[in-house]
Structure 1
Amino acid sequence: MMKRALGEGLLAGTAGVLVMTLGEKAEQRLTGRPDSHVPARTLERLTGAPERPGRQPRPVNLAMHIGQGALLGVLRSVMAHAGLRGPWSSAKFAVVRLTNDQILENATGTGAPPQTWPRSELVVDLLHKAVYAFATGVVADALAARRGPGPGQRHAALRPGRRPDVGPLPRGRSHALRDDEGHTR
């Protein structure tokens, strides 16, 4: 599962970054908001590269922007393969995406905690990261679904919800599902 999740996740994350970037560019045309160079500054500090005051080089900005989104797509793919699919899972993943940004930006000193941001900047960032998370989720879910339900989905099919009387699925057994009367579905 992990090898498939790696390749599929990189693809899903890259697709999510593409959709997010297209949305960002459209929003910037409407609002006049300039590009952010925080990704470039963050990558420079993470790698120990020399920092450039003022405008950051576009390739460094894109490397962080695309690389971070592609790598995080692997986590969303792991979620999908485990059976965590759909809008709820994409919403959970949006929080992971936002948290990842904040950890890296605050740890390197290139960003500030979101509660200190102007509200308009915060709303724009939340919107774009949600677009990324849901676009990544659509691709990751579709790729994982080609192999059928994940372990969590198979478990839930036995008896939905968290129940102490439904133990883990046996390893290496058939993935056939049985209803309450013992009939195979």
Structure 2
Amino acid sequence: MAWGRSAAVGVVAGAAGVAAMTVAEKVEQRITGRPDSFVPARTLERLLGLAAARGRRARLRNLAMHLGQGALLGVMRGTMAGAGLRGPWSSLLFYAVRLTNDQTFENATGVGAPPWTWPRDELVVDLVHKAVYAFATGLVADVLAARWGPGPGQVHARLRPGRQPDVGPLPPV
């Protein structure tokens, strides 16, 4: 597996996932009338020790956190795809990573609260948007990684399906 190539695929896939999530958010906001959330901007400000911004600067910080976080997390999904962890099941695993990442940073900075304390409608909206991100990121990562053939996990499964410690190492590429 080419680690650098898989990471690069992940950055691209993560940015595509952020774009898909942003489009979904804007469509949802038009339908529901929900205003923009500045939780990402406030989280970034707390992480970097910055004063709270307003207006255009707050929107830029929101965008920076969305894009930065999405692209960096995409590295993990790109690495998963490079290793042969592809398809909807892998995107579902990655969905949990995305949710965990958000909640860890938001709660550690005091900007957010545990999701089980949220109003149900806010929770559903967040879960849907993060699912759009995770599955869009996964789709792009899987398509790009497939260009280089099966990953080590897929080769292993072809030799002997399941978790088998005695299959042995893969031949050098």
Same fold (TM over 0.5): yes
Instruction: Give the aligned length.
Output: 172
1:87-141: per-residue Cα shift (whole Å, max 9, x none)?
A: 0000000000000000000000000000100111111111110110000001101
Aligned partner of 2:129 in structure 1 is 128
- Contact 1:37 / 1:56 at 8 angstroms: preserved in 2? no
Measured after TM superposition, the shift of residue 53 of structure 1 is: 7.2
For 2:150 and 2:54, locate their aligned partners in 1 and report how far apart those are by CA, in whole Å: 50
Measured after TM superposition, the shift of residue 51 of structure 1 is: 2.1
Which is bigger in relative contact order (C-alpha 8 A, separation at least 6)?
2
Matches within 5 A, 1:79-118: 79-118=80-119
SS in 1 for 2:68: helix
TM-score normalised by L of structure 2 = 0.94
For residue 160 of structure 1, what is the amino acid of its counterpart?
P
Identity fraction in percent: 71
Q: Which runs of 5+ in 2 are unaligned?
A: none
Q: Which runs of 4+ in 1 moved over 4 A?
A: 53-56
CA-based RMSD of the aligned residues comes to 1.6
Bigger helix fraction: 2
Measured after TM superposition, the shift of residue 167 of structure 1 is: 2.8
For 1:25 and 1:19, locate their aligned partners in 2 and report how far apart those are by CA, in whole Å: 10
For 1:128 and 1:53, locate their aligned partners in 2 and report how far apart those are by CA, in whole Å: 24
For 1:145 and 1:159, locate their aligned partners in 2 and report how far apart those are by CA, in whole Å: 21
- Contact 1:93 / 1:133 at 8 angstroms: preserved in 2? yes
For residue 109 of structure 1, what is the amino acid of its counterpart?
G
Aligned partner of 1:77 in structure 2 is 78
TM-score normalised by L of structure 1 = 0.88
SS in 2 for 1:57: helix
- Contact 1:37 / 1:61 at 8 angstroms: preserved in 2? yes
From the CA coordinates, give the structure whose radius of gyration is larger. 1
Aligned partner of 1:166 in structure 2 is 167
1:7-66: per-residue Cα shift (whole Å, max 9, x none)?
A: 211110000000010001000100111110000000001111122479971101110011
